[in-house]
Amino acid sequence: MNRESELRKDLGEASLGEDYWQALLQESERPTSAVPPVKEEEEIWRGLGVEPGIGRAEGEPDEELAPGEDGPHPDDDDDEAQLDRAWQLAQASFESGEVSELKVMGYNRGGLLVQFNGLRAFVPASQLMDSPNHLEYAERDAELSSREGNDLLLKIIDLDKNRNRLILSERAAMSNEEREAQLLAKLHKGEIRRGRVTNLCSFGAFVDLGGIEGLIHISEMSWGRVGHPGDVLECGCEIEVYVLNVDQQAKKISLSMKRLQPDPWTTVEERYQVGQLIEGNITNVVSFGAFTRVEEGLEGLIHISELAEGNFLHPRNVVKEGDMVTALIINIDSAKHRLGLSLRRTGKEQEEQEEESDLRSDDPHYFAEPPISEYAT
């Protein structure tokens, strides 16, 4: 494993492709819609009095010679020697892991711009201790702008003289303990953050929030039943999470996905009534009955005694996972998240509804207009 890969691993990040680095100075690391135009990097650096050719980001073209010019002038030798010296210092700093204090010279939607011994360098937003990547564009832009003129402790994490690429990190400049402490201090209960799923296990999913991990317990993934976290998420995917709790002493962060959506149980009694026939999907069959999904996040139980008339050995003798059934609501308890259903009584209820419908259709007065007097006030 090379030094770059080790550094990136220490930072808790997956190895980044070349396309990422080529786009650092041009694109935001988190896509946003209707992004306003951003000042070109050449403009930014010229405004700061830095020559465009020094430390140019990878992918940017060399300046073309003006008509009549045939190459570097003799006076350019000193500049070339100074540039080589600057790259030597950067290489030495990179290899030693030196931490440097540098002033923020500018910013773009991808991160911050700094100078290292005259070389123009870049600090991706994801490499800041308090990364603004979870913010919307306007807030993100304002946050990056507010850091102009600040001094940051930075470490070089990627260097390529041939490609004029110099990338630094604030996160890498701190020890794991310092980084965790700062990140924990910035997290608050009730916040919505973006993160990357790093690991799935039977009881939940671990999510990297930019240098520190939190846990989404399986019970917090959906208002409905989740058999395994892998049914909902996959490693490497980016998601939004709700911060349930931050334990500073234990360094534990509890996260939730389902809290980003309204709880369907809060309005269940307004939308369903006892005696109502509903369609449902059998999601799980156990020894005491069958669970039935009525809607996303809302499941009811058909107890074994409510499955069918007569004797049978197991609920699977009556229904199986995946069956679509028509069930009768016999009990609703929103506080305890319980919805009692019945298959056994469904036939009788349907017959009663059909009989009532027949009686109404046979009654000549049922569809007749009521007397005008009944409309009088």
Structure tokens at 331: 């009990």
Question: How would you label 250-289 residue by residue, b for 16+ Cβ within 10 Å and e otherwise?
Answer: eeebbbbbbbeeeebbeebeeebeeeeebebebbebeeeb
Instruction: Give the integer Cα–Cα distance in Å for 129 and 80.
Output: 35
Whether 209 and 338 share a structural domain: no
Domain residues for the domain of 13 are 3-61+75-174
Do 52 and 138 share a structural domain?
yes
278 and 191 together in one domain: no
Question: 244 with 199, same domain?
Answer: yes
Task: Tell whether 290 and 186 lie within a shared domain.
Answer: no
**Same domain, yes or no, for 159 and 11?**
yes
**Whole-number percent of the chain with pLDDT over 70:** 71
* Full-model pTM: 0.51
Please indicate, yes or no, whether residues 84 and 167 belong to a single structural domain of this protein.
Answer: yes
* Any domain includes 285: yes
- Asked if 134 and 96 sit in the same domain, the reply is yes
Asked if residue 254 and residue 201 are part of one domain, the reply reads yes
Per-residue model confidence as pLDDT tens digits over 234-274: 999 999 999 999 998 888 999 999 999 889 999 999 999 99
Domain stop point among 157, 174, 191: 174
CA distance linking residue 105 with residue 218, whole number of Å: 45
What pLDDT is attached to residue 35? 39
Total number of domains constituting the chain: 3
- The C-alpha atoms of residue 273 and residue 262 are separated, in whole angstroms, by 20
Tell me which residue of 55, 152, 150 sits closest to 41, measured CA to CA: 55
* Separation of alpha carbons 180 and 177, rounded Å: 5
Average pLDDT over residues 311-319: 91
CATH code for the domain of 341: 2.40.50.140
Q: Of 125, 148, 174, which closes a domain?
A: 174
pLDDT digits (tens, 9 = 90+) for 167-199: 999 888 877 677 778 788 888 999 999 999 999
Quick one: what percent of the chain has pLDDT higher than 90? Answer: 41
pLDDT number for residue 110 = 86
Residues shown for the chain: 377
